[in-house]
């Protein structure tokens, strides 16, 4: 559905520029006239929301970088300086810290949406793969960013997560020393994390451009999973989706502002307001909430498996949970994309999978004791079983419902249904949808 350009340069300057650098044409074709399925619902607005999140993080991040000092003796102090003395510094820092959480809320919803509607299926595999790359880059960026305030959680989080690499056979310990630039997490570590934390967002921005490119080659997927058949199925991106995304972004900002202004510390951990102390480990180390599901998987492996130690096993399981996402387009054998037309069994398993991810997140925040370890093991097992066994088998076994012939037909039948309901002379109380 990569469409022919419809841009007509309006003025002499535009014509001049268009011959030399058709940048306005690119913008117009991508975000102006781009034909977009007309049945996209609000779950499809998270792409726009995520772009805004990235911009917010980069802008507030650069502002913070102007006042922050990446040195173990001054990092904590400089963050307090930002909070207390820099003009609007408290707002900037809270916006950056809570902005990261908002970013992850949006990215998780974006991913589950892709999962539910089968957006990753042929011909959009590259789109999904780049998305997973962005997600992993985001995790790396967020992790390094959390180290910078140099509080207790920063320090011990950095120690624990970098120690994961020591589980790798043979090279593990050397690799850990290489990452640290020393024999413990210290000033060299903080400095390089700062440099990388500044760099990675720009890599993310680059990957986002590829992501949008990969989206614009086949065009948007949509809730029916039926490809666009004719002009009747689409609307130009502007103004239809600029305004719809715009509305969603404003609503999202309300959520963001609620955290930023009224509970800015609710998603953080109090221990990070204690300066890093290499002699005292906090009683209960927890990563930020968005890492908790993966943290739970890491801790679930408390047994040796054949020649694999429990430590290495945990690391393998945790990283596999991310790597497996790359293969999702080929693991899902369903004949239709969208769960809307799949069997009830498929829907139920999907619901269980979402619940499992949330449950893993909750488990990641609990102490590493029974029964939580057992729960984590079961939930981790289900995570992999769903993706590796259930998803492929469902696709092979189920008979999907009949697909609508086109997007327009689907939209029309919905409208008729609605009209029929509202036209009933004596309206019967409708059960809430």
Partner 1 sequence: MNSVSDTQPSVGDHGEETTRRDFIHLMAIGATGAAVLAVGVPAIHQLNPDASVRALATKEVDISAIDIGQAIKVMWQGKPVFIRRRTEEEINAAGETPISALKDSKSRNENLTGSEEATDTNRVVKPEWMIVVGVCTHLGCVPLGTDEGDSRGEYNGWFCPCHGSHYDIAGRIRKGPAPENLIIPPYEFVSDTVVKIG
Partner 2 sequence: MNTIIKTLITATAFFGLSVGIANAAGGETKELKHHHWTFAGITGAYDKESVQRGFQVYREVCSACHSLDYVAFRHLGQKGGPFYMEKCPEGFPSTQDCRQPIANPIIKALAAEYEIEDGPDDGGDMFMRPGLPADYMPGPYANVQQAAAANGGAIPPDFSLIAKARHHGPDYIYSLLTGYEDPPETITIAEGTYYNPYFPGDSTSLLKPEYVDDEGHVLEGVKVPYGGVLKMKAPLSDEIVDYADEETPETVEQYSEDVTNFLMWAAEPKLESRKRMGMISMIYLFIFAGIVYWSYKQIWSDVDH
List residues binding partner 1 (CB under 8 A).
Answer: 3-4, 6, 33, 35, 59, 63, 66-67, 81, 84-89, 91-92, 231-232, 234-236, 239, 243, 246
Q: Which residues pair with residue 235 across a beta bridge?
A: 36
- According to the binding rule CB under 8 A, does residue 374 interact with partner 2? no
Under 8 Å CB-to-CB from 204, ≥6 apart: which residues?
A: 54, 134, 137, 138, 141
Q: CB 379 → partner 2: shortest distance, Å?
A: 12
- The interface partner of residue 67, options being partner 1, partner 2, none and the CB cut-off 5 to 8 Å by kind, is partner 1
Which lies closer to partner 1 via its Cβ, residue 4 or residue 369?
4
Q: Would you state the structure tokens that stand for residue 83, as one six-digit string?
A: 């909070």
CA proximity to 99, closest of 53, 149, 63, 135: 53
Residue 271 contact, options partner 2, partner 1, none, Cβ 5-8 Å cut-off depending on partner type = partner 2
Cα 329 to Cα 143: distance, rounded to the nearest angstrom: 28
Among 319, 326, 327, 362, contact with partner 2 (rule: CB under 8 A): 362
Residue 38 lies near partner 2 (rule: CB under 8 A)? yes
**Which residues between 231 and 270 bind partner 2 (CB under 8 A)?**
235, 239-240, 243-244, 246-247, 250-251, 253-254, 257-258, 260-262, 264-265, 270
- Give the nearest distance from C-beta 411 to partner 2 in angstroms: 5
Q: Give the chain's radius of gyration (CA, Å).
A: 24
Which of these, 199, 72, 219, 212, lies nearest to 145 by C-alpha position? Answer: 199
57: number of Cβ within 10 Å: 22
Q: For residues 69 and 148, what is the distance between their CA atoms, to the nearest angstrom?
A: 9
Q: What would the x/- binding string for partner 2 be over residues 53 to 92, using CB under 8 A?
A: ------------------------x--x--xx-----xx-
> What is the footprint of partner 2 within residues 138-167 (CB under 8 A)?
none
**In whole angstroms, what is the distance from residue 320 CA to residue 327 CA?**
11
**Residue 192, binding choice from partner 1, partner 2, none, Cβ under 5 to 8 Å by partner class:** none
39 counts as binding partner 2 under rule CB under 8 A? yes
Q: Which is nearer to partner 2, 213 or 247 (CB)?
A: 247
The verdict on 398 binding partner 2 (CB under 8 A) reads no
Residue 82 and residue 87: Cα distance in Å, rounded?
Answer: 8
* Residue 37 phi, psi (nearest 5): -50, 140
Residue 121 carries which DSSP code?
S
Site string for partner 2, 90-129 (x = CB under 8 A): xx--x-----------------x---x-------------
Angle at 255 between CA 250 and CA 261, to 5 degrees: 110
Q: Give the C-alpha separation, 415 to 290, whole Å.
A: 39
State the alpha helices, DSSP H only, in 307-343: 310-326, 328-331
Q: CA 205, CA 328: separation in Å to the nearest integer?
A: 24
Nearest approach, Cβ of 85 to partner 1 (angstroms)? Answer: 4
Q: Which two tokens stand for residue 327?
A: 């293969």
Residues within the interface to partner 2 (CB under 8 A) = 38-39, 41, 43, 77, 80, 83-84, 90-91, 94, 112, 116, 223, 235, 239-240, 243-244, 246-247, 250-251, 253-254, 257-258, 260-262, 264-265, 270-271, 273-274, 283, 339, 347, 350-351, 354-355, 358-359, 362, 366-367, 369, 408, 411-412, 415, 433
């Amino acid at each position: 559905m990569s469409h022919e350009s419809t841009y007509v340069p309006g003025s002499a300057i535009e014509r001049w520029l268009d011959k030399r650098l058709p940048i306005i044409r690119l913008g117009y074709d991508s975000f102006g006239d781009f034909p977009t399925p007309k049945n996209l619902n609000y779950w499809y607005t998270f792409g726009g929301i995520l772009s805004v999140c990235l911009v917010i993080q980069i802008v507030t991040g650069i502002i913070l970088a102007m006042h922050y000092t990446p040195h173990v003796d001054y990092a904590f102090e400089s963050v307090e300086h930002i909070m207390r003395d820099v003009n609007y510094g408290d707002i900037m820092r809270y916006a950056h810290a809570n902005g990261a959480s908002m970013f992850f809320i949006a990215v998780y919803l974006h991913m589950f949406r892709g999962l539910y509607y089968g957006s990753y299926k042929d011909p959009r595999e590259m789109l999904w793969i780049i998305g997973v790359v962005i997600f992993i880059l985001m995790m790396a960026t967020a992790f390094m960013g959390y180290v910078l305030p140099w509080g207790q959680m920063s320090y011990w989080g950095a120690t624990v997560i970098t120690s994961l690499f020591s589980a790798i056979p043979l090279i593990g310990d050397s690799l850990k020393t290489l990452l640290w630039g020393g024999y413990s997490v210290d000033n060299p570590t903080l400095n390089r994390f700062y440099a990388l934390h500044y760099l990675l967002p720009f890599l993310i921005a680059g990957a986002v451009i590829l992501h949008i490119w990969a989206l614009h080659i086949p065009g948007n997927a949509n809730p029916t999973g039926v490809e666009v058949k004719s002009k009747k199925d689409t609307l130009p991106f502007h103004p239809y989706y600029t305004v719809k995304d715009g509305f969603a972004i404003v609503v999202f900002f309300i959520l963001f502002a609620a955290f930023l202004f009224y509970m800015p510390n609710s998603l953080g951990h109090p221990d990070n307001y204690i300066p890093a102390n290499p002699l005292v480990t906090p009683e209960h180390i927890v990563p930020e909430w968005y890492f908790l599901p993966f943290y739970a998987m890491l801790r679930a492996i408390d047994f040796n498996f054949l020649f694999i130690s429990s430590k290495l096993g945990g690391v393998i399981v945790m990283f596999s949970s991310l790597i497996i996402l790359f293969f999702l387009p080929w693991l899902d054998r369903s004949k239709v994309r969208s769960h809307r037309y799949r069997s009830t069994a498929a829907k139920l398993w999907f619901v269980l999978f979402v619940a499992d991810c949330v449950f893993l997140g909750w488990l990641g925040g609990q102490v590493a004791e029974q029964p939580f370890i057992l729960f984590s093991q079961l939930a981790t097992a289900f995570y992999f079983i769903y993706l590796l066994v259930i998803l492929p088998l469902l696709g092979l076994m189920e008979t999907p419902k009949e697909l609508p012939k086109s997007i327009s037909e689907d939209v029309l039948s919905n409208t008729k249904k609605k009209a029929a309901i509202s036209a009933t002379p004596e309206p019967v109380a409708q059960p809430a949808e």
